[in-house]
Structure 1
Amino acid sequence: MADQRGRPSRLVVLAGPTAVGKGTVAAYVRQHHPEIWVSVSMTTRAPRPGEVDGVHYHFVSETEFERLRERGEFLEWAVVHGRARYGTPRGPVERVLAEGRPALLEIDLQGARQVRQHMPEALFVFLAPPSWEDLVERLTGRGTESEEERTVRLATARTELDAASEFDVTIVNDRVARAGEELVSLLVDHRTSTDR
Structure 2
Amino acid sequence: MEGKLIIFSAPSGAGKTTIVKRLLERYGDKIAFSISASTRQPRGEEIDGKDYYFISKEEFLHRIAKKEFVEFEEVYSGTFYGTLRSEIERIWASGKSVIFDIDVIGGLHLKRKFGENALAIFVQPPSMGALIERLRGRGTDSEEKLQERINKADKELGFAEHFDIILNNDDLEEACEQASRLLLDFIN
For normalisation by structure 1, the TM-score amounts to 0.86
In the alignment, is residue 20 of structure 1 matched against residue 14 of structure 2? yes
Query: Is the 8 Å Cα contact of residues 37 and 55 (structure 2) preserved in structure 1?
Result: yes
Equivalent of residue 121 in structure 2, options 125, 132, 137: 125
CA distances 1:30-82 after superposition (whole Å, capped 9, x unpaired): 22321211111111000111211122111111122112111111111111122
Distance 1:74 1:176 in 2: 32
Q: What are the within-5 Å matches in structure 2 for residues 3-14 of structure 1?
A: 9-14=3-8
Query: How many residues in Structure 1 have an aligned counterpart in Structure 2?
Result: 186
Q: What are the within-5 Å matches in structure 2 for residues 62-141 of structure 1?
A: 62-97=57-92, 100-121=95-116, 122-141=118-137
Runs of 5+ in structure 1 lacking a partner? 3-8
In the alignment, is residue 145 of structure 1 matched against residue 141 of structure 2? yes
Distance 2:36 2:124 in 1: 21
Aligned to 2:56: 61
Q: Which has the higher helix share?
A: 2
Taking structure 1 as reference, are residues 158 and 105 closer, same or farther at Cα in structure 2, changes over 3 Å only?
same
Aligned to 1:167: 163
Aligned to 1:6: none
Runs of 5+ in structure 2 lacking a partner? none
Query: Is the 8 Å Cα contact of residues 4 and 187 (structure 2) preserved in structure 1?
Result: no
Aligned to 1:5: none
Q: Which has the higher strand share?
A: 2
Query: Is the 8 Å Cα contact of residues 102 and 187 (structure 1) preserved in structure 2?
Result: no
Shift in Å at residue 160 of structure 1? 0.4
Shift in Å at residue 177 of structure 1? 4.1
Worse-superposed segment, 164-173 or 20-29: 20-29
Alignment RMSD: 2.0
Distance 2:90 2:48 in 1: 21
Percent of pairs identical after alignment? Answer: 37
Query: Is the 8 Å Cα contact of residues 108 and 120 (structure 2) preserved in structure 1?
Result: no
SS of corresponding position for 1:85: strand
AA partner of residue 159 (structure 1): K
Shift in Å at residue 175 of structure 1? 4.0
For normalisation by structure 2, the TM-score amounts to 0.89
CA distances 1:1-42 after superposition (whole Å, capped 9, x unpaired): 67xxxxxx4311111112212222222222232121111111
AA partner of residue 21 (structure 1): G
AA partner of residue 34 (structure 1): G
